[in-house]
Structure 1
Amino acid sequence: MANLINLENVDKTYGLKTLLDHVSLGIQTGDRIGVVGLNGGGKSTLLKVLSGQDTPDAGRVSHASDLQLAVVTQDANLNPDDTVADVVLGPLGVATFEWASNARIRDVLQGLGIVDLGLETKVGSLSGGERRRTNLAAALVRDLDLVILDEPTNHLDVEGVQWLAEHLLAAKCALVVVTHDRWFLDTVATTTWEVHDGVVDVYDGGYNDWTFARAERARQADAAEQRRQNLARKELAWLRRGAPARTSKPRYRIEAAEALIKNVPAPRDSVELMAFSKQRQGKIVVELENATITTPDGRTLVEDLTWRLGPGERIGLVGVNGSGKTTLLKTLAGALPLTDGRRKEGKTVRLGWLRQELDDLDGDRRLLDAVEDVASYVDLGKKQLSASQLCERLGFSPARQRTPIKDLSGGERRRLQLTRVLMSEPNLLLLDEPTNDLDIDTLQELESLLDSWAGTLVVISHDRYLIERICDSTWALFGDKKLTNLPGGIEEYLRRRSQQAKAEKSGVLNLGDSAATSAKDNADAAAAAAAQPAAAAPTISAAEHRRITKELAALERKTQKLEQQQAKIEDQMATLAADPSAEAIDKLAELSATLGEINSEKEELEMAWMELAAELE
């Protein structure tokens, strides 16, 4: 293994905040490092120092000679007059018509959907997400020693994230990636760096290993803090005992007590998302009947859709970028009129809508003003909090509260936007890519809050960890003008999309057509691959839908109990297998018969579950 980059005692400060304090790190060939930490904690700064885009205030950064390095940041600063081919293929000296003969380039362009954008498309006409994908492709097609990525999954759909993970695992180059996608982090990272309070803690493994290791470190820190407090109490009690003046005490005891009092670690920034008082929800939330929805560019998204959202439903909505998920969410919110059909909204519905864009906040206003625009005081349980106190519980210090919104990091603005939505006390939450720019600590807080959310929830997200955690059902747009229920969740979605990809590969590749033509071809192929009876829109009533959902949950609980009994019996049989006595043999026969009955009952429950699930499709 060769050393690629070394950091030795690096310091970096912005304003009054120290982001890196005597940090020493190294990157070797073959390393796959995930970087995590709170927003504004120094992750992007660390990447800039590593790559040489920024210089440290103190310390030394050394690179290996002839290091081939690419950096993909959150800002895709591209020349708007360049074509996609100029950006991706130009630096390689590969002509547009030659790229298909190179397997690596072909894999990257197809995997990131660059072909669908059109290689002759001007960069200036692309959206922000499309520019970032183009920038990412320009790095991945090169032969590199090290690639540094800052939030590469933010504008990828679920299958794009999976493709990127598989591509990076197969690549020979080292990797440093800042990401808040827990599944992606757990898949690609063999080492995790946590940036906080100016230091970088190093953990082996990905997200799961980091979570366990951090919990253990927190437990040890709590034990150490408890011992410190006990010692401090003893020392202070000794110092106060009796009438003699403090100066008559042995000096070493006084110094020890003062050291204990001073040796209090600075508190970590913390975030606490809160469930504000909930509005009553009636039987009707939002219903679409025989609806036809058309996108702003005139494409028919769904036809003859009947979809009834019941109270308490938790729905995850997935689909490729550009499939119309946000348009469907706008229709549910009533912001986009139906081309045909009827939309009905319950009288008690109070909508909270977290949009993907951040431009609804005035950048020149202070953070505190943006919170006070919603409410100056909020009631949480029996306590009343001012807007300033609420901001502190969200991780914004009093000084930070007076910062203009335009100077906040993307994650801080996203957290502020989410808080404003929750403060409006909604009972219908529409979340469009809520995980974009949020750090993992805030994501965990968000999931904890949504776990106990009593209202109705519809979430668009490429974060499969979030979808699988908080949603009870998954629905998808495959481009066949239908909304498809997926009982198998994300795994079923990826399987169906793989079938579509195989169907599309049988056709002619788009080597530079317009994005609109490509989208039409993809939609036609999707319709051919995904048109199945299960894809039909549901026609059952809302009450019937709730009844079936409850029965499914009951069957799942019964199956889980049987699995626990099955595991217990198998453990008992394993213990008895080593005993040759007649009693043990008789007991084994009895347990085996019981196990057979459990297996039969379990199969019946699973069959009943499948039949009920089919009624929801």
Structure 2
Amino acid sequence: MNYVSAENLSKSFGIKTLFENITFHVNEGDKIAIVAKNGTGKSTLLKILSGRETASEGTVVINKEIQVVLFDQEIDFNSSQTVEEFMMSLDSAPIVALRNYHKALLSEDPNAMENSLAEMEIHKAWDLENEMEQILSQLKITNLEAKMEMLSGGQIKRVALAKLLTETRAQHKHTLLIMDEPTNHLDVEMVEWLENYLSKSMLTLLLVTHDRYFLDAVCDKIWEMEDKNLYVHNGAYATYLENKMIREENLDATIDKANNLYRKELEWMRRQPKARTTKSKSRQSDFYETEKTAKLDTRKASLELDFEMKRMGNKILELKNIDKAYGDLTLLKDFSYQFQRGEKVGIVGKNGAGKSTLLNIIQGFEPKDAGEIETGETIQFGYFSQKGLIFKEDQRVIDLIKDVAEYYPLANGKSLSASQFLRLFLFDDQTQYSPISKLSGGEKRRLHLMHVLFKNPNFLIFDEPTNDLDLPTLTVLENFLLNFGGCLIIVSHDRYFIDRIVDHVLAFEGDGKIRDFVGNFSEYREMKEVELKNPVAAKKAEVKIEPAKPVEKPAAVEKKKLTFNEQRELKNIESEMPKLEKKRAAILEQLNNEKDYDKISVLSKDLDDLSTELENFEMRWLELQE
């Protein structure tokens, strides 16, 4: 069954064209993800399909038998409503029946009760209330009497999501569910629940998301919006990347051929033939088309970030026995950690567990209850917060950057002006001199990221950096962070992003307990699943120090004498071990003073090899001594 058909669809705002002459179809059962840079029209296209925007040109035909439901990034609600009133404000017949049934329960009118019972039967609404409660419970919305105005932004998003999923279940007709960044402000547990819910449902789905694990689990088709066109890819995210690479390689080959033909045709055009025959006019027309192809610029504007990071001293950051609580809620309990040079740490846990509080304590934004923090004198934090960019209402984009510095130092000794740096972040000249208030949400996040990096920090702290950033920008940011020589802390619910970047994980497990796990987030989750499935084995695996039981003293054993070769081996070990210790100390000293990331990697490997060799010597020395 065909749900939506669009033919030659175009949308422009003034002189800016978002997309042009795109044609597509949505059929029953399709689960489609839209991938594109911010500002290319993803959200606009969703609003056109939901009837909130109109196209500049082209036609959109939506099947009369389907219901289109949009989950937008901006949530409309009445602040004076309770959560329950907000949930029950839907207009679908089953919800209306359920609402009338609740009213009849409060009244003493037998006729009202009889009518409401009949209405519940007609619209099959008996199971709906139970399903609504289950969805709210899964999304951690428990207080239905809370006023909407008292909820945080994340809680409002979760309540709106619960209302949307309830609405889709209440509809008896076919539904096209349109979702714009549904995973923003959800913790990993909720994202995985939503992922499982949508992947198993029979819904027809069209969504925009930056979460690549979510995309792969839920969607089987990708629409790529680029250069005003729409490209359709059947399959997973990896298939889309492969198809995109092939398309760009083919385009490059076409441009090379056009350039060769262009040079020949240009020579002919310059002769300015006097005879304007049909043949010559046709040749001129072909020339202009060839010229257009030859002059295509396939070099995409990208974030090529290679700055001259400020040198880090021997002391980085050390947390000693940190406590933090709010009343009976314990967030941090006797937490200690010492950061090493070049360390990339991921911080994970449920919303409200204390992740952002730890970041604030580290930077001195929030007081600790107990403990000590020692920060190296050379450390300069760069903080990318959830709160977003702080700016004056009429402040221009370029002025915000110039307030930090006029120039940005590069690793090769050169520098970029503020305007050049803005271009790297995909801000054209016109946008640079526009008020920040006119930017889209994604563009503000990108400007915020640039503002942080322009300060040239050597210790980056990112609190949910992936929210509202498009996938192309995220990919470049990931590549930059992988090569970043300083320290990095990332709080993120984006599993793909954190898996790719971090060396190990600090997991907030509740009641002030923070587990330091060596590995990425997916490996940590696998370990937790093993613990949940087999808690007895997990408990046995824990190292416990128990008082030694008294044992009978064994009979004295005659000590075996060493052979001549063993005596010589022992003597050799005793002479070599001090040399290895000295060499190890020298490498450690180099590591403390080295700032080149590649050299640090080589030295770290040398240190591992040397430590292994020293350990083998020690074990053999003990054997010979015994």
TM-score, normalised to structure 1, is: 0.77
Q: 1:139 aligns with which of 164, 171, 176?
A: 164
Q: 1:275 aligns with which of 306, 329, 340?
A: 306
Superposed, 1:575-594 pairs within 5 Å as none
Q: What is the SS of the residue equivalent to 2:52?
A: coil
Distance in 1 (alpha carbons) for counterparts of 2:543 and 2:403: 46
Q: 2:510 aligns with which of 467, 474, 479?
A: 479
Distance in 2 (alpha carbons) for counterparts of 1:120 and 1:498: 34
Distance in 2 (alpha carbons) for counterparts of 1:61 and 1:253: 38
Distance in 1 (alpha carbons) for counterparts of 2:515 and 2:351: 16
Distance in 1 (alpha carbons) for counterparts of 2:451 and 2:539: 39
Distance in 1 (alpha carbons) for counterparts of 2:128 and 2:72: 29
Change (3 A) 1:468 1:330: same
Q: Is 1:73 aligned with 2:72? A: yes
1:275 touches 1:422 (CA, 8 Å); kept in 2? no
What CA deviation, in whole Å up to 9, does each residue of 1:561-617 have, x standing for no partner?
xxxxxxxxxxxxxxxxxxxxxxxxxxxxxxxxxxxxxxxxxxxx9xxxxxxxxxxxx
> How far is 1:199 from its partner?
2.3
Change (3 A) 1:101 1:436: closer
Aligned match of 1:43? 42
Q: 1:209 aligns with which of 230, 239, 254?
A: 239
> How far is 1:222 from its partner?
1.1
Q: 1:424 aligns with which of 439, 455, 464?
A: 455
Compare CA radii of gyration and give the structure with the larger one: 2
Aligned residue identity for 2:261: L
> How far is 1:277 from its partner?
1.0
Change (3 A) 1:245 1:166: closer
2:330 touches 2:511 (CA, 8 Å); kept in 1? no
Distance in 1 (alpha carbons) for counterparts of 2:180 and 2:56: 22
Superposed, 1:102-121 pairs within 5 Å as 104-115=131-142, 118-121=143-146
Q: 2:147 aligns with which of 87, 106, 122?
A: 122
Change (3 A) 1:369 1:159: same
Distance in 1 (alpha carbons) for counterparts of 2:284 and 2:13: 38
Aligned residue identity for 1:311: R
> How far is 1:426 from its partner?
0.8
Change (3 A) 1:322 1:498: farther
Q: 1:434 aligns with which of 445, 465, 482?
A: 465
Q: Is 1:28 aligned with 2:27? A: yes
> How far is 1:348 from its partner?
1.0
Distance in 2 (alpha carbons) for counterparts of 1:106 and 1:160: 15
Change (3 A) 1:308 1:234: same
2:2 touches 2:26 (CA, 8 Å); kept in 1? yes
Aligned residue identity for 2:60: V
2:459 touches 2:487 (CA, 8 Å); kept in 1? yes
Change (3 A) 1:424 1:532: farther
Q: 1:379 aligns with which of 402, 409, 425?
A: 409
2:393 touches 2:437 (CA, 8 Å); kept in 1? yes
What CA deviation, in whole Å up to 9, does each residue of 1:334-367 have, x standing for no partner?
2222211111101111111111111422332111
1:99 touches 1:105 (CA, 8 Å); kept in 2? no
Aligned match of 1:572? none
Q: Is 1:195 aligned with 2:231? A: no
Q: 2:360 aligns with which of 330, 344, 356?
A: 330
Aligned residue identity for 1:438: L
Q: 1:218 aligns with which of 224, 248, 251?
A: 248
Aligned match of 1:519? none
1:289 touches 1:342 (CA, 8 Å); kept in 2? yes
1:354 touches 1:417 (CA, 8 Å); kept in 2? yes
Aligned residue identity for 1:193: W
Distance in 2 (alpha carbons) for counterparts of 1:238 and 1:15: 38
Q: What is the SS of the residue equivalent to 2:135?
A: helix
Distance in 2 (alpha carbons) for counterparts of 1:106 and 1:500: 29
> How far is 1:275 from its partner?
2.8
1:100 touches 1:106 (CA, 8 Å); kept in 2? no
Superposed, 1:199-348 pairs within 5 Å as 199-237=229-267, 247=274, 251=280, 254-263=284-293, 264-265=295-296, 270-295=301-326, 299-348=329-378
2:19 touches 2:40 (CA, 8 Å); kept in 1? no
Change (3 A) 1:113 1:460: same
Aligned residue identity for 1:154: N
Change (3 A) 1:161 1:500: farther
Q: Which range moves more in the overlay, 254-263 or 226-235?
A: 254-263
Q: What is the SS of the residue equivalent to 1:200?
A: strand
1:197 touches 1:268 (CA, 8 Å); kept in 2? no
Q: Which range moves more in the overlay, 468-477 or 52-61?
A: 52-61
1:34 touches 1:206 (CA, 8 Å); kept in 2? no
- Give the aligned length: 521
Q: Is 1:390 aligned with 2:421? A: yes
> How far is 1:534 from its partner?
8.4
Distance in 1 (alpha carbons) for counterparts of 2:29 and 2:530: 33
Aligned match of 2:122? none
> How far is 1:485 from its partner?
1.6
What CA deviation, in whole Å up to 9, does each residue of 1:545-566 have, x standing for no partner?
x99x999x869x99xxxxxxxx
Aligned match of 2:108? none
Distance in 2 (alpha carbons) for counterparts of 1:114 and 1:454: 41
Q: What is the SS of the residue equivalent to 2:318?
A: strand
Aligned residue identity for 1:430: I
Change (3 A) 1:217 1:369: same
Change (3 A) 1:497 1:153: farther
Q: What is the SS of the residue equivalent to 1:399?
A: helix
> How far is 1:478 from its partner?
1.2
Aligned residue identity for 1:110: S
Distance in 2 (alpha carbons) for counterparts of 1:328 and 1:530: 28
Aligned match of 1:172? 202
Change (3 A) 1:164 1:255: same
Superposed, 1:7-22 pairs within 5 Å as 7-22=6-21
Change (3 A) 1:133 1:375: same
What CA deviation, in whole Å up to 9, does each residue of 1:83-104 have, x standing for no partner?
1122224532547999998664
Aligned match of 1:409? 440
Aligned residue identity for 2:132: I
2:83 touches 2:148 (CA, 8 Å); kept in 1? yes
> How far is 1:237 from its partner?
4.7
Q: Is 1:443 aligned with 2:474? A: yes
Unaligned 5+ runs, structure 2: 106-124, 545-587, 593-599, 610-615, 617-626
1:42 touches 1:196 (CA, 8 Å); kept in 2? no
Distance in 1 (alpha carbons) for counterparts of 2:290 and 2:440: 36
Distance in 2 (alpha carbons) for counterparts of 1:21 and 1:257: 24
Unaligned 5+ runs, structure 1: 504-528, 536-542, 559-604, 606-617
Q: 1:462 aligns with which of 493, 513, 524?
A: 493
Distance in 2 (alpha carbons) for counterparts of 1:315 and 1:374: 27
Change (3 A) 1:24 1:253: closer
Distance in 2 (alpha carbons) for counterparts of 1:477 and 1:182: 24
> How far is 1:77 from its partner?
1.0
> How far is 1:272 from its partner?
1.2
> How far is 1:177 from its partner?
0.5
Distance in 2 (alpha carbons) for counterparts of 1:148 and 1:259: 38
Aligned residue identity for 1:320: K
1:7 touches 1:50 (CA, 8 Å); kept in 2? no
Change (3 A) 1:67 1:100: closer
What CA deviation, in whole Å up to 9, does each residue of 1:271-309 have, x standing for no partner?
3141321111122211111111235x7732111111111
Q: Is 1:184 aligned with 2:183? A: no
Aligned residue identity for 1:411: G
Distance in 2 (alpha carbons) for counterparts of 1:86 and 1:121: 10
Distance in 2 (alpha carbons) for counterparts of 1:108 and 1:534: 40
- Aligned residues: CA RMSD: 3.6
Change (3 A) 1:447 1:422: same
